[in-house]
Structure 1
């Protein structure tokens, strides 16, 4: 999936038809805003494909010709936001007609498959529309429209997002731009810190203190910034690998410093982004870190999203092998989310499968979710891997997973993310449980706490 590409309205026949449709209703404030920005309005598009497909797609888009690889061509849009910042409804009819106009333009030229240099493509588009207040600079309005378009892209299925008029919307955009600027340097910005969420063993809940490391950030005013926004800013600016390295190095340093207080910890999970996995410099730097912290690397479990792992199987195999040679473990995260392929899994020597939370959170109310979760647990067991269920929110969910034989659970039913010093004060993941039903479920603390690392079962 490419980053949104941009083109001006002038000379773009499909865009001209949209503008004409919007401007037909000059009573609508949104249409008037578009009219004011007509000379410079930008369109961002969500383009399927990668590599050469993306370059061909961008070339096609600039010429006003629709495309995208591998599936039938269509334009699918729908207005979403319907109120402005003051709660006043924003009429989306012109935007909807604009969608139909673009779709009509596409249908006029559509072929069963659109070809460029003997390669088949089709198109999906995402549109951001803003209701600009009087006096706003065109650059600010375009920036806000770009933000709306990115949100439409994240929502998927070629949607339109309409941002209503009002200072809060532009203030939010200013905050986003400020965050992007913070991630524009060679080093991660100040304000970063780590939290840790316990992961409970279902076989030895009182004897193990395992957890996942989570990135957090505070702004200059001390207010917490949503992690997803910080990560998106780093991805947008191309500094996500530096951020991943910071998390890895900070985690290893912390483990090394507190190793004597983590005698019951068998694994510490750390996520690595797709961009970092494909960054040769990052992989080499992590290798240097692992050799520097070789005494504690065996506690580390690198979480790789399943879709990323299967995207480049050969590279993933090499990465897993090198990580495991240095002593760390590997878990396939969000397993079952979309690209699951059992033949591929046979060739990936991962240590654990982490069931995608979407299958776990409604497991008590969905027979399909329960069946999928149970199949993944059985698959992990038969392949000699451990199973981890995330997003475990309540006692009924935990009880079902316990019956299925899951190895580890993570979620608010066990504990919310904790500060590192709180983790160090605990003796096990079960120490954080407050729900009496779950305490009954896992049984009393009957055995003495183990202190010998080797006496604890491994994640392998």
Structure 2
């Protein structure tokens, strides 16, 4: 780095100039040396001549006289005075006649050539031999050694002066040239430093443009370049920041996408146009039970298909193996050896914009629909089957009647029989031994009667203890035979509850197609009339529909119920019973549900259940009076017992059409000074969905005045979830069909969990009814149900419980 300045323009300029100066000075020194040598040679030659003349003048006379003693004296004097090294005098014969500072025995050196003085060989003496002449006559020769010390001294002095002058000139010129170079390149140095700062990433600073010359033009160009570069750098920095933000966003999106793909239940397999695996998410490996080494990026799709198909535990059906990874865009179902059912569909993935590739990538999507298929089968079963007995339900029964009616229109020769029956005194079993005993009776009846029927005959439970058998192709005789077998089979059954032996009988009615009816509703009505005729004839029997007998019996039954309901209203035979509804976890009373009972005048101390008189009341319109009576009695109870948290009162669907009912409820609350928050009105789901507009208006009114609304029997209708968002109820009561066997039924648990999740999402509480054991109560709490109701917690009774007393469930 110390010599780095030599690579700069300034350094190169100074060094080049110094080198040029050095060359010139060297040339000058060489020429000066040559001139010195020439001058010294001339001086030497002059001195030699002078000395030769002096010696010749001094010695020639003595030699002519052969006065060798004088010659010797002259030589001695001359050697001492003239800085001559030695002198030797020869005669003409070459004999030494006299010497000075030389021994005669020593050989005399040869005379030197004057040109040797310039050879630089370091001569100390210069040997000369000169003749001694007088008048042109030679008397001998004189050889002497001339001391060259003076010549060397003169040369040294001249060389020292010349070198000093050269060095001084060189230093002075270097100083002058360096100053000139510094002055000329000062702007360039500033440009260099600015360039280095700019290259190091420092902020660009504009340089002054004071010089109006080439350097000034270069500075202006540099300033323009620096400004443009600074702007580009700023743009690049902004772009870099954006790129970093985009990279961070992309990284976060990729992380979220990876987490999403990893958490998906769908198995995803992405394949390149070359047929190689690009990506497989964890669900794909799990669905096909593949390890990390079994499927990896880059492997051929054919190899993967072979690996899956080669394991009989994955695909045992050769036909399904042929459809594995079939890129036809259709959905295929692949059933594995363990009965798991997967769906497969492939989707073509087009190339991204700007991407060039031949062919299309494909995405295979796999889904395990085993549970969904089982649930769908269960839904289909529940849509057509009674949840308790497994028999066909009313909906499926009505569909079968409609099918036969349509078939009869096409084929007039078709005939069929409808057998309609219920159990005599079935309510006694429920009242005396509870719902579990009643359910056991219904299950036994369904089993025994079902064994009497042929495969083409439909056996349905229509509700409660009402059953029906549809026998296609049966004539009157076949229907009578089947009716007798059913009545006899029911009568032959024996039950034992709590140590008591119980036997039940049945009453059955027969109606034929097309003799008695051609439309489904008429067919059912005729069979119902025949059943009532069998009951009035003494029960435990069957009757075939006859117009005169059956109609009179049916009308008598309806008339009897109308009179009994009227008498109950007038004579105060209706009575409220109460059943507690408790919180899950720790059973604390939340509120009470009002249950209506009718005192039986013919059997003092016994009650008629709602299932016996409510259907008749709905048919003859007295249900409106019953609803108002229950509302008044319930609100009066709340007024007499202010410690009660609240009452839930059931309202029938017929009352929704009563425009005066909302004002009637408000009037009762005001009259008895009961807070609306203590009133909860229960509406059955089927009734609520039958007239959505009236239901919504009624619910809005109750909610608007501060009361609460509970949607009862939720889940019975399979459009429940779809309509729930339109019904602004506070509470949802899950139908007992999902609760009775909740502990042992995974399907019921799935439905209950789904109802809870929907209710929570909509901000509604949930109530579970028919809670009849501790295991069910605990499981409901674990599933997240808010409230529970059932015989395990409390039985319906006329006495009000103490809200302050916790229940030890």
| TM-score > 0.5, shorter chain as reference | yes
| 1:50-449 alignment, distance < 5 Å | 77-78=470-471, 82-83=486-487, 87=491, 99=512, 101-102=513-514, 125-126=523-524, 144-145=532-533, 162=542, 178-184=560-566, 187=569, 189-202=571-584, 205-206=587-588, 208-221=589-602, 222=604, 223-259=606-642, 261-262=643-644, 265=645, 267-420=646-799, 422-423=800-801, 425-428=802-805, 430-431=806-807, 433=808, 439=809
Instruction: Measure, in 2, the Cα distance between the counterparts of 1:281 and 1:407.
Output: 33
TM superposition shift of 1:386: 0.4
Instruction: Measure, in 2, the Cα distance between the counterparts of 1:191 and 1:144.
Output: 25
* Counterpart contact for 2:638–2:674, Cα < 8 Å: no
Q: Which runs of 5+ in 1 are unaligned?
A: 2-12, 23-74, 90-94, 107-120, 131-140, 149-160, 165-169, 434-438, 440-460
* Deviation digits for residues 156-212 of structure 1 (CA, Å, limit 9, x no counterpart): xxxxx9359xxxxx9999787544312247945531111100111125524x34210
* Deviation digits for residues 101-144 of structure 1 (CA, Å, limit 9, x no counterpart): 539996xxxxxxxxxxxxxx9778326569xxxxxxxxxx9793
TM superposition shift of 1:269: 0.8
Instruction: Measure, in 2, the Cα distance between the counterparts of 1:200 and 1:411.
Output: 9
Q: Which residue of 1 is the match for residue 351 of structure 2?
A: none
* Counterpart contact for 1:290–1:326, Cα < 8 Å: no
Instruction: Measure, in 1, the Cα distance between the counterparts of 2:745 and 2:560.
Output: 42
Q: 1:300 to 1:85 in 2, by over 3 A?
A: same
Count of equivalent residues: 314
* Counterpart contact for 2:532–2:554, Cα < 8 Å: no
TM superposition shift of 1:397: 1.2
* Counterpart contact for 1:129–1:163, Cα < 8 Å: no
Whichever of the two has the greater Rg, that structure is 2
Instruction: Measure, in 2, the Cα distance between the counterparts of 1:269 and 1:395.
Output: 24
Partner-residue secondary structure (3-state), 2:696: helix
TM-score between the two structures when normalised by the length of structure 2: 0.34
Partner-residue secondary structure (3-state), 2:523: coil
Q: 1:296 to 1:146 in 2, by over 3 A?
A: farther
TM-score between the two structures when normalised by the length of structure 1: 0.58
* Counterpart contact for 1:212–1:269, Cα < 8 Å: yes
Once the two structures are overlaid, the 10-residue window that deviates more, 411-420 or 180-189, is: 180-189
Q: 1:102 to 1:339 in 2, by over 3 A?
A: same
Instruction: Measure, in 1, the Cα distance between the counterparts of 2:767 and 2:470.
Output: 37
Instruction: Measure, in 2, the Cα distance between the counterparts of 1:403 and 1:340.
Output: 26
* Deviation digits for residues 215-236 of structure 1 (CA, Å, limit 9, x no counterpart): 0111224222122112223223
The alignment's C-alpha RMSD in Å is 4.4
TM superposition shift of 1:276: 1.1
Instruction: Measure, in 1, the Cα distance between the counterparts of 2:488 and 2:558.
Output: 19
Partner-residue secondary structure (3-state), 1:270: strand
Structure having the higher helix fraction is 2
Partner-residue secondary structure (3-state), 2:713: strand
* Deviation digits for residues 276-332 of structure 1 (CA, Å, limit 9, x no counterpart): 122223344223223334533211110111122222222222111111122210011
Q: Which runs of 5+ in 2 are unaligned?
A: 1-393, 395-407, 418-467, 472-481, 494-508, 545-551
TM superposition shift of 1:333: 0.7
Q: 1:411 to 1:80 in 2, by over 3 A?
A: farther
Instruction: Measure, in 2, the Cα distance between the counterparts of 1:187 and 1:243.
Output: 8
* Counterpart contact for 2:533–2:554, Cα < 8 Å: no
* Counterpart contact for 1:201–1:408, Cα < 8 Å: yes
* Deviation digits for residues 398-438 of structure 1 (CA, Å, limit 9, x no counterpart): 12211101100000111111223x42x4524x43x5xxxxx
